[in-house]
Amino acid sequence: MTDMTTLRFTKGHGTENDFVLLPDVDARLDLDVDLVRRLADRQAGIGGDGVIRVVPTASSTEETVRAQAGRAPWFMDYRNADGSVAEMCGNGTRVFAAYLRREGLETADEFEIATRGGIKGIRFEISGEHATIATNMGPWRFTDPAKAEADGFDSLVLLRERPLAEDPWSALSVDMGNPHTVVALPETVDLATLDLFHVPEVRPVPAHGTNVEFVRVVGPDHIAMRVHERGVGETRSCGTGVCAAALATSFWAGQAAPTQDWTVDVPGGRLRVRGLPDHEVELAGPAALIADGTVELSAL
């Protein structure tokens, strides 16, 4: 636990996927599981889907992160609301980038940030209070390419509130640097009425858990999605999940990778997914910094 008695914080969100940002430019903060849980608690804390520590990349205790310091001066140290360490967060990258720009830690329209999922390129399309920011999410892959190619899916998903006798849904696993399992809902199932309170059952069970996306096609190159995030529960948006959903839907439509923009609607808003060369993908959308303050740790 940190020996500080108060912490400065900024609250931000990207399509209502919300985060507590903690500036730690001197790398003095010990961000342990208990502190993350208390900060993210929506009743007794500040509240958020995750906590992001803003720290110099060169000061990270993780060798793979420090190796990124030559290209990316700032590390997005991301934790899920339950305190677990995560590789990265797509919506979080935009909020993190907006914070760096506001604080003068980055001044260019394009720069790179460090994450546990590798370096992510940032591009400001529109600046201002509600910036539109594009993140090169880097390379992606199907978790089991051979099975995906042969069958179109590699796993099964069952929601706990559905009758046990009902067949599970087929799903496709996508690795975005963090794990995702994408379900194309049958036409008879209403996306809006899904009960995502419980953790979806995924078979075979992923070794490190997974985010699960439920997708409905809206129109050409346009889908709607809801998500149950690993370590959090249902969230209003998930950036890496949006990319995974667009990539899986594009694959099911007969494209090995998207060659056009996809529009993805989530409960918190709308995002754009664009296929890039070299099997990479870009996510674009808004980011907002909505509050700054201090929190008394003894009160949490």
Which one, of 157, 159, 153, 161, lies nearest residue 248 by Cα?
Answer: 153
Residue by residue, what is the 3-state secondary structure of the chain? CCCCCEEEEEEEEECCEEEEEEECCCCCCCCCHHHHHHHHCCCCCCCCCEEEEEEEHHHCCCHHHHCCCCCCCEEEEEEECCCCECCCCHHHHHHHHHHHHHCCCCCCCEEEEECCCCCEEEEEEECCCEEEEEEEEEECEECCHHHHHHHCCCEEEECCCCCCCCCCEEEEEEECCCEEEEEECCCCCCHHHCCCCCCCEEECCCCCCCEEEEEEEEECCEEEEEEEECCCEEECCCHHHHHHHHHHHHHHCCCCCCCCEEEEEECCEEEEEEEECCCEEEEEEEEEEEEEEEEEHHHC
The Cα 36–Cα 51 span in angstroms is: 6
Catalytic annotation, pick one of 35, 89, 176, 232: 89
Does residue 238 carry a catalytic annotation? yes
Exposed, middle or buried: residue 118 (CB in 10 Å: 0-12, 13-18, 19+)?
middle
Does residue 89 carry a catalytic annotation? yes
Tokens of 269: 């808003």
Tokens 């051979």 -> residue: 146
Catalytic annotation, pick one of 232, 238, 243, 281: 238
Q: How do strand 222-229 and strand 261-266 relate by DSSP bridges?
A: parallel
What residues are labeled active site?
Answer: 89, 238
